[in-house]
Amino acid sequence: MSLDPVWWAGDGVGYIDQRRLPAALEQRTARSTAEVVEAIATLAVRGAPAIGIFGAYGVALTAQTLSPEDFAAAAARIRAARPTAVNLAWAVDRVLAAAPHYLREAEAIHAAQRASDRLIAQAALELFPPRGGVATHCNTGPLATGGDGTALGCIIAAHRAGRDVHVYVDETRPLLQGARLTAYELREAGVPATLIVDGAAALAMRAKGIALAIVGADRIARNGDAANKIGTYALAIAAKYHGIPFYVAAPCSTIDLRLASGTEIPIEERGPEEIRAFLAASAAPPEFPAYNPAFDVTPADLIAGIVTEAGIARAPYEESLPRHVRGAALSQVTSP
Amino acid sequence: MSLDPVWWAGDGVGYIDQRRLPAALEQRTARSTAEVVEAIATLAVRGAPAIGIFGAYGVALTAQTLSPEDFAAAAARIRAARPTAVNLAWAVDRVLAAAPHYLREAEAIHAAQRASDRLIAQAALELFPPRGGVATHCNTGPLATGGDGTALGCIIAAHRAGRDVHVYVDETRPLLQGARLTAYELREAGVPATLIVDGAAALAMRAKGIALAIVGADRIARNGDAANKIGTYALAIAAKYHGIPFYVAAPCSTIDLRLASGTEIPIEERGPEEIRAFLAASAAPPEFPAYNPAFDVTPADLIAGIVTEAGIARAPYEESLPRHVRGAALSQVTSP
């Protein structure tokens, strides 16, 4: 079964409604700018690279459906649908710069992401021991990128290369991308895995022979600080405490060299009802205050390396990341 | 509204069904040994001190309802209803030793717990700064002890003593005792508080001015290693990383001097469906493997102090904890 999360559908942008997984694999089509924005904002489409591709197709759709005078504002709405992942703004800007070849450029971004994912998985293979537990957080597989995935793509590739990996999957509250999506993708790929609550990752590191932690990212600052799904920072601290190397895997489109450190990364805060309730089942008292950051920033000193399509960047990241970005820019598929 | 979780009901043991909170405050009565065991095993009654008191009343009920030849085996079933919290075995043993005055001893244990909770809160007051965030995990309030609570009792007492505390409440997956019970009790007590997912505690420590972390315990080994609800260990590591003092508050009945370290504490593993689903709403794929330890052990070197009714024990715990246990044994209410 294809887990391609987004595609060009001729008269709209097709996507898997990831809110319904794993109960249902529902394919839908966004046929207006508003539907594109809503799919991103509600996490029907999520994963930093995937929302970049989806946003790029969304701009192509907007160019087809709106008058030139309304086009720029509509593209800006897509660009702002979620703030933390820089891939969305990056992809929208890139498609706009390719005017009038919007669709061709969106397809080029999609193809470049697929190529990046393969290169990232190749570069990460050396990080995997012959056998051992692997901790991960949130979802970074095919559903998140439109390719093979970033961190989860590395894990699946290591499994296919014969490494005896056993994945400990954080369920990833509040929206449970780990339980709903990563568990689903690992089962599709046949990779041995066990689901845990986020609070059990530290115990699993102590008790279950975890040798490696690897996660994705939504934005990486110049110094290597990496924003990713809330709970990543806690996982990185626990890895440090247990002497387990903690890696980030992300395409260079996730690296934002304009930002000196993670304190400059905008962190989306979502509604408290995501914590107070769960898939429509109420948990906490109604109206009880909740703090719901969608992401956190993992400081570079907790990150053993950042795997991109240009290889593994190591500290000092101010030197290694710009090299990666330049290398990727050269190697990426670009439209004529 | 009283939040007394357990009481003697004449012909049975009354309890609040904590699985229904906060949606409903439902009072029930266990009228047989089997119903006592089931209420403990399903977490209708939970919290280490509260299940000790409930088990003690359960033995008194069993003595009234069963023949002498069936009594010992039935009491043993109550004693084994959950393995990690030592309070249950401690209370059952104590009631059995008081034969035939079972009910009187159970009432004495209940009264001693109320007195202990007040002493613990008094001892902990010095740990609270004039203002600041306080992190906690799971539920350790009145519902957990039959008194004012342990860690949450300390927090509520500090609030009443004029400390400007703001509590960051871990929701505490998988059974959400933080979201369902601690949030409920904090609202009843009028303490400012914010609910977070467990994975956000590290970010809250970095971003929200948390000055203190305080939790309860289900069993404390002689060296100070403390078993508590899964996720506590991760919280302690995050506190260490941020230089935030991490305290445990528990009555001396939680201290098990027979165990040299936390590796000897039996950790209950519960069914994977608690993680795969959530209040009857399915999350992960059915049958996906899940690792569901109900507790973890926080090593003593992550614990700044252990607050008991005998004061604050500090490292080396091998020396301070036996002093606390002896002191508490002398001061506790005992039946004639």
Q: Choose the closest CB to B196 out of A187, A278, A291.
A: A291
Q: How far is A90 from chain B (nearest CA, A)?
A: 26
**CA B167 and chain centroid, separation:** 18
Using the predicted structure, report yes or no on whether residue B283 has a pLDDT greater than 90. no
Percent of chain B with pLDDT over 70: 95
Q: How far apart are CA A124 and CA A152, in angstroms?
A: 11
* Interface contact flag, B233 A184, Cβ < 8 Å: no
Amino acid B272: pLDDT: 87
Q: What are the pLDDT digits (tens) for A65-94? A: 999 999 999 999 999 999 999 999 999 999
Q: What are the pLDDT digits (tens) for A224-241? A: 999 999 999 999 999 999
Chain B residues whose CB is inside 8 A of the A180 CB are 283-284
Using the predicted structure, report yes or no on whether residue A276 has a pLDDT greater than 90. no
Could you list the beta-strand ranges (E) of chain A: 6-8, 13-16, 27-30, 131-136, 164-170, 193-196, 210-215, 219-221, 226-229, 246-249, 255-256, 277-278, 281-282, 295-298, 305-308, 311-313
Q: How far apart are CA A250 and CA A268, in angstroms?
A: 19
Q: How far apart are CA A125 and CA A162, in angstroms?
A: 11
ipTM, two decimals, is 0.91
Could you tell me the CA-to-CA distances from A257 to A247, A265, A300, A324 in Å, in that order? 19, 11, 14, 11
* Interface contact flag, B203 A293, Cβ < 8 Å: yes
Q: Which of B117, B148, B170, B218 is catalytic?
A: B218
- Tell me the pLDDT band of B330, cut-offs 50, 70 and 90: low
Using the predicted structure, report yes or no on whether residue B229 has a pLDDT greater than 70. yes
Using the predicted structure, report yes or no on whether residue B171 has a pLDDT greater than 60. yes
A218 is catalytic: yes
Taking a C-beta distance cutoff of 8 angstroms, is the pair B195, A288 a contact? Answer: yes
Taking a C-beta distance cutoff of 8 angstroms, is the pair B203, B191 a contact? Answer: no
- Tell me the pLDDT band of B161, cut-offs 50, 70 and 90: very high
Q: Choose the closest CB to A22 out of B233, B275, B285.
A: B285
Produce one character per residue of B201-228: b if its CB has 16 or more CB atoms within 10 Å, e if not.
bbbbbbebebbbbbbbbbbbbbbbbbbb
Q: What are the pLDDT digits (tens) for B3-39? A: 799 999 999 999 999 998 888 899 999 999 999 999 9
- Tell me the pLDDT band of A283, cut-offs 50, 70 and 90: low
Tokens of A144: 């998140």
Interface residue of A197, A235, A275, A302 to substitute, partner B, most B CBs within 10 Å? A197
Tokens of A241: 């405490």
Q: How far is A109 from chain B (nearest CA, A)?
A: 31
Amino acid A331: pLDDT: 52
Using the predicted structure, report yes or no on whether residue A334 has a pLDDT greater than 50. no
Q: A159 burial class (0-12, 13-18, 19+ CB within 10 angstroms)?
A: buried
Amino acid A289: pLDDT: 79
Tokens of B314: 């500090």
Q: What are the pLDDT digits (tens) for A94-138? A: 999 999 999 999 999 999 999 999 999 999 999 999 999 999 999
* Interface contact flag, A290 B198, Cβ < 8 Å: no
Total Cβ atoms within 10 A of residue A86:
24
- Tell me the pLDDT band of A271, cut-offs 50, 70 and 90: confident
Residue A48, phi then psi, degrees to nearest 5: -55, -50
Amino acid B277: pLDDT: 75
Taking alpha carbons only, the member of A259, A218, A210 closest to residue A238 is A210
Amino acid B144: pLDDT: 97
Amino acid A336: pLDDT: 38
Lowest mean pLDDT among A197-206, A264-273, B150-159, B241-250: A264-273
Q: What are the pLDDT digits (tens) for B46-62? A: 999 999 999 999 999 99
The average confidence (pLDDT) of chain B is: 92
Amino acid A329: pLDDT: 64
Q: How far apart are CA A300 and CA A220, in angstroms?
A: 9
Listed in sequence order, the residues at least 6 apart from B238 whose beta carbon sits closer than 8 Å to its beta carbon are A234, A237, A238, B201, B202, B205
Q: Which of A218, A225, A256, A296 is catalytic?
A: A218
Q: How far is A11 from chain B (nearest CA, A)?
A: 33
